């Protein structure tokens, strides 16, 4: 069974356009670097439901081929390199993983 991995990023302050582009580019690159990723999308939160943003400005959705691929993703060096890019920028992160048919 495939797995969906959804992440919402809340930053300590507004990101510059360059920093936001750098982070998104790094996220998009993960699909080519990490085995088991079936699809990856990421982008800036553009909801019109302003009461629901709560500071979460970037979103990520990754579809994995199976549970093992999802488990291998976290410690993978490419993912850890992205996580290092977030050092000092993040206020909070919400992660949701679930099985899809």
- Give the CATH number for residue 92: 3.30.70.100
When pLDDT is averaged across residues 5-16 and rounded to a whole number, the result is: 95
Provide the domain limits for residue 92: 7-96
Segment 12-62, tens digit of pLDDT:
999 999 999 999 999 999 999 999 999 999 999 988 876 666 889 999 999
**pLDDT for 49:** 77
In a domain, 75, yes or no: yes
pLDDT at 11 over 80: yes
Q: Is residue 20 within 8 Å of 44, Cβ to Cβ?
A: yes
pLDDT at 7 over 70: yes
Q: Please count the structural domains in the chain.
A: 1
When pLDDT is averaged across residues 58-75 and rounded to a whole number, the result is: 98
Residues in Cβ contact with 56 at an 8 Å cutoff, skipping those fewer than 6 apart: 8, 9, 10, 45, 92, 94
Q: Is residue 82 within 8 Å of 30, Cβ to Cβ?
A: yes
């Amino acid at each position: 069974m495939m797995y969906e991995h959804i992440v919402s990023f809340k930053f300590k302050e507004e990101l510059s356009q360059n920093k936001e582009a750098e982070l998104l580019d790094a996220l998009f690159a993960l699909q080519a670097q990490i085995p088991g990723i079936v699809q990856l999308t990421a982008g800036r939160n553009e909801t019109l439901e302003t009461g629901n943003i709560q500071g979460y400005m970037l979103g990520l959705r990754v579809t994995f081929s199976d549970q093992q691929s999802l488990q291998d993703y976290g410690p993978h060096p490419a993912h850890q390199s992205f996580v290092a890019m977030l050092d000092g920028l993040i206020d909070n992160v919400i992660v949701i993983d679930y099985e899809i048919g």
